[in-house]
Chains A and B, each alone.
Chain A
Amino acid sequence: NAGVTQTPKFRVLKTGQSMTLLCAQDMNHEYMYWYRQDPGMGLRLIHYSVGEGTTAKGEVPDGYNVSRLKKQNFLLGLESAAPSQTSVYFCASSYATRTGTEAFFGQGTRLTVV
């Protein structure tokens, strides 16, 4: 099993450009998440999905859009990149349980906006 795979691993964008980050999981998880990690600020939730065709806003959704057309994929889009979006982005997925279960993370995407 590959687990959770993110593409690309690194990307440099110019201000105003757009891009899409792809997250794919092969564990048949219902829940998928996008986080950003900035120094000293931990992992902040951007958007999440509780199932195919559903998305919801997290703590810091502004400037991002997401789609979950297939259960195994969760896409994060930046329509007009800004330097404030320079960060490391992590995708994660987990089963849907009432009592909580492990979230598995991808390897991260380091994005620099210049």
Chain B
Amino acid sequence: GENVEQHPSTLSVQEGDSAVIKCTYSDSASNYFPWYKQELGKRPQLIIDIRSNVGEKKDQRIAVTLNKTAKHFSLHITETQPEDSAVYFCAARNNAGNMLTFGGGTRLMVKP
């Protein structure tokens, strides 16, 4: 089955700096890669996603890049703010479309 690895497990940045979280996946047939943000005590919520026919996608301060050859995708947050502090999860969906496998999560701390 699919295996998703996520790094780093914790990330501390100063407000205004950029943050990058990286994930690798094992199943070359996976075709959908969402990123979720989970605030303390809350449910995970989708912040951005990318499909396998696209190399990059942006939404304001958030961007995701996908390298299908290397089976690698990354989340980029620019101009970080304290409210960006949360746990971020990457995920990969298999080609059959029925399973969503998550990475281990990254705890991002943005220091004011």
Name A residues whose Cβ lies closer than 8 Å to a Cβ of B: 31, 33, 35, 40-45, 48, 50, 56, 58-59, 90, 92, 94, 96-103, 105-108
Contacts and interface: CB of A to CB of B under 8 A. Distances in A.
Given A41-B104, A90-B43, A99 B98 contact: no
Interface in B50-76: 51
Query: Among the interface residues A31, A41, A43, which one has the most CB atoms of the partner chain B within 10 A?
Result: A43
For chain A, what secondary structure do more than half of its interface residues adopt (helix, strand, loop), or is it mixed?
loop
Interface string B8-37: 010000000000000000000001101000
A15 B33 CA distance: 38
Interface of B: 1, 6, 9, 31-32, 34, 42-46, 49, 51, 89, 93, 97-105
Query: Among the interface residues B32, B43, B46, B104, which one has the most CB atoms of the partner chain A within 10 A?
Result: B43
Contacts of B93: 100
A51 B8 CA distance: 36
B102 to A, nearest CB: 4
A100 B98 contact: no
Contacts of A101: 32
Contact of B45 (A96, A97, A105): A105
B94 to A, nearest CB: 10
Contacts of A103: 34, 46, 100
Contact of A102 (B31, B34, B104): B34
